């Protein structure tokens, strides 16, 4: 279950950043509340995963899921630029996350 909790934590991180962008610096109420709720949910599931997983592994994977997911949301929803180098670095993050999972 720890890995499932960690996946939910990473998704909470990703959606927290998505709603933070939509909140326009906390000027819009609904996206601001969703950003805070997503962040709290992310930390909650991260704390559950830490019952069984090493902190370094869990934190690395949590930030990796959040980072890659946020970049992809930015590309698809906010029309942020896509370049070969950007995709290459996303692949590096994914490789690091997979590596951490393998050695855990």
pLDDT at 17: 98
- What CA–CA distance (Å, rounded) separates 26 from 18? 13
Q: Please report which confidence band the pLDDT of residue 92 belongs to, taking 50, 70 and 90 as the band edges.
A: very high
Where are the chain's structural domains?
2-103
Mean pLDDT of 63-90: 96
Length of the chain: 104
Distances (CA, A) of 81 to 16, 28, 85: 21, 25, 11
Cβ-proximal residues to 67 (8 Å cutoff; 6+ apart), any chain = 93
The stretches of 1-104 forming alpha helices (DSSP H) are 2-22, 29-49, 55-77, 84-103
Give residue 94's pLDDT band: very low, low, confident or very high (50, 70, 90): very high
Tell me what the mean pLDDT of segment 16-38 comes to: 98
> What does the pLDDT read at residue 74?
97
pLDDT of residue 12: 98
Percent of the chain with pLDDT over 70: 100
């Amino acid at each position: 279950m720890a890995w499932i909790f960690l996946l939910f934590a990473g998704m909470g991180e990703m959606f927290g950043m998505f709603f933070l962008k939509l909140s326009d610096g906390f000027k819009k109420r609904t996206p601001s509340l969703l950003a805070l709720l997503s962040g709290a949910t992310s930390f909650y599931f991260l704390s559950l995963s830490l019952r069984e997983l090493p902190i370094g592994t869990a934190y690395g994977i949590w930030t990796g899921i959040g980072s890659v997911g946020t970049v992809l949301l930015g590309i698809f929803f906010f029309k942020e630029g896509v370049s070969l180098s950007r995709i290459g670095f996303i692949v590096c993050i994914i490789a690091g996350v997979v590596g951490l999972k393998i050695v855990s």
